[in-house]
């Protein structure tokens, strides 16, 4: 048996973000025909299932594991995917975890934007360059909205779902960079090695996501 044919026989490896998105991902992958379930051990990082092994990780790491081939496929937010810049095949918009990446300022702000804080510095920089806004990007890890409230930055770029946090803190969206949702991503080499298996899953997911 060749190395390539041996690789095809291995169980599928799926990278999934921990938390609620993992539960939703397991549910939709189950509807697509994969028999998956969490390990009863809540501390488990690898869940050994009948049809695949699930690697449980932070959302930000999914695209890395898929691009580098440790996982064959994964589910990750479009926002995280664009920020990472990882080279993976993105065949399906799963149409859940919907949100938008927005430019946010304090209500009534009408000055020049010179500093923008964000947990998404790469996406922010691309946006500023496209809009020809000459502003410093300040990378933050926590509640970026606080940067507007304290004067650390003139604006922030962050994910918005309901907008309730913005309203509670007298902040407003002034522009939308892009819409985001959960995406099914595939390692490019795995797509060739497991073509038949993955095409069936992709087609099933596309039908479910309509």
Structural tokens at position 186: 């595939």
Q: Which residue has the higher pLDDT, 1 or 45?
A: 45
The tens digit of pLDDT for each residue in 118-149 reads 999 999 999 999 999 999 999 999 899 999 99
- Per-residue buried b or exposed e for 139-158, using 16+ beta carbons within 10 Å of the residue's own CB: ebeeebbebbeeeebbbbbb
Domains in the chain, please, with CATH? 3-97+181-209 (3.40.190.10), 100-179 (3.40.190.10)
Q: Is the pTM of this model over 0.85?
A: yes
Structural tokens at position 115: 């500093």
Average pLDDT over residues 172-178: 97
Q: How far apart are CA 203 and CA 205, in angstroms?
A: 5
Q: How far apart are CA 25 and CA 111, in angstroms?
A: 43
Give pLDDT, residue 27.
95
Q: How far apart are CA 91 and CA 112, in angstroms?
A: 40
- Measured on CA atoms in the order 68, 54, 202, 19, is the torsion positive or negative? negative
The confidence band for 9, taking pLDDT boundaries of 50, 70 and 90, is low
Average pLDDT over residues 156-163: 95
HEC string for the chain: CCHHHHHHHCCEEEEEECCHHHHHHHHHHHHCCCCCCCCCCCCCCEEECCCEEEEEECHHHHHHHHHCCCCCEEEEEHHHHHHHCCCCEEEEECCCCCEEEEEEEECCCCCCCCEEEECCHHHHHHHHHHCCCCCEEEECCCCCHHHHHHCCCCEEEEEECCCHHHHHCCEEEEEEEEEECEEEEECHHHHHHCHHHHHHHHHHHHHHHC
């Amino acid at each position: 048996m060749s190395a390539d044919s041996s690789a095809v026989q291995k169980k599928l490896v799926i990278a999934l973000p921990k938390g609620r998105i993992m539960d939703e991902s397991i549910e939709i992958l189950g509807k697509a025909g994969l028999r998956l379930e969490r390990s009863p051990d809540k501390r488990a990082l690898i869940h050994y299932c009948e049809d695949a092994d699930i690697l449980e990780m932070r959302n930000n790491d999914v695209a890395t594991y898929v691009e580098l081939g440790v996982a064959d496929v994964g589910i990750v937010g479009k926002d995280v995917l664009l920020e990472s810049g990882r080279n993976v095949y993105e065949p399906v918009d799963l149409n859940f975890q919907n949100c938008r990446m927005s430019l946010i300022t304090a209500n009534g702000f009408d000055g020049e934007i010179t500093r923008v804080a964000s947990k998404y510095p790469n996406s922010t920089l691309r946006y500023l360059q496209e809009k020809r806004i000459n502003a410093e990007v300040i990378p933050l890890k926590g509640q970026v909205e606080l940067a507007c409230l304290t004067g650390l930055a003139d604006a922030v770029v962050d994910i918005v779902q309901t907008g309730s946090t913005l309203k509670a803190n007298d902040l407003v969206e002034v522009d939308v960079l892009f819409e985001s949702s959960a995406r099914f991503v595939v390692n490019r080499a795995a797509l060739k090695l497991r073509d038949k298996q993955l095409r069936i899953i992709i087609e099933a997911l596309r039908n479910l996501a309509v």
